[in-house]
Structure 1
Amino acid sequence: MRILLLGAPGTGKGTQAKFIKQKYKIPQISTGDMLRENIYTKNKIGEDIQKIIKKGNLVSDEIVCNLIHDRIQKKDCKNGFILDGFPRTLEQCFYLSKNKIKIDYVLELILPYESILERISGRRIHIPSGRVYHVKFNPPKIKDQDDVTKELLITREDDQKASIKRRLEEYKKITYPLIEYYLNEKKINGIKFFQINTINSVLSVKKKIEEILKQ
């Protein structure tokens, strides 16, 4: 089962990918997680990525494709995988096709603009563990402190409202042709493409996805 999750930042791709991973025992490949891991380890790629993100831009296709290429070669991808946040451009989509990486399901998560702003700007992160909180929906027990270590939580630079708006504008401009591509693939080649509104509760979205994956 090879699943592609699409959606703007804040639509819940990471959360739903974890549910799918647990149920179907396939790995979640998150470009966001891979990018943040490189930033945290402060290697050369991580430094380049951080500079790009600070400007509110998307990381280049070359960097992302190289990371994906290395990841899908691992043994745990043999029976399938979840691509979370990749591809985001036609070039990345062509990369999958060129390398004969078959996709069974394309799930696009959608959410109103204002809801995305609220979700992302309220996130607080514990960088060492990757634990994520939200000031409204999932607050820590003590304000701005990780529940386990009591270390300080941060707001990522790309979670600031000004940066979010730039990312959404960039996402819409670049990704629209990709959505059109997969809608066309649905008509021509029968790829299973579904759009799912994530304004509802996390569990209701989870149930909807499970119903789709039975098809």
Structure 2
Amino acid sequence: MPTAAAAETPVVARAGSPDPAAPLVVLLHGRGSHEREILTLADHLPSAAAYAAVRAPIAEGAGYAWFANRGIGRPVPASLRTGMTWFRRWLDAEAPATRPVLLVGFSGGAAFAGGLLLDDPSRYAGAVILYGTLPFDAGVRVTPGRLANVPVFVAQGTHDTVIPRELLDRTWNYLHDESNAALTSRRDPAGHGLTLPVVEALSAWLHTRLA
């Protein structure tokens, strides 16, 4: 399996506003998926933003992954760090610090988005954690108050059998009780996949952030 460092310039699929000053929403796909799949989400989100769906750097099966795992939802710390460094090189060239950047991650992409946010909370205008866990015990700081006043949207399915329930609960509890994030959250009677009510809520949340 190639490492994140083996990849060069990320493969990026784009949608939404072509304005280079428009807020940038970075879409991060799940493990074993690819950028074109998650880009379809942009069709249901506010058109005022620029959307960049980035392909993860590690080939896995028919798709790609953001980091090597010690188990589902448990990143290998060195692999997560390598991937985040690779991503930040791209992001810092793509968007100056004055351009608002929001992260939207699904499943494995949610863990990666959470790692990026926890590593440098001030870099992002907000983050979305969809059907995934934060990367606990993976070399990023998950400390009380770490996300103070950062807008975060988290959605989970009560019937999700892909991400371990212990990690989903730990993520939920940290975001609600310890992070101090400006949190919007929902749990729905669903499995490991986006539902129309969640997409609609996400669109409304993004609209508020963009305004």
Bin for the TM-score computed over the shorter chain: 0.3 to 0.5
- Larger Rg, first or second structure (1 or 2): 1
Larger relative contact order (CA 8 Å, sep ≥ 6): 1
Relative to the length of structure 2, the TM-score reads 0.44
Relative to the length of structure 1, the TM-score reads 0.44
Whichever structure has more helix as a proportion of its residues is 1
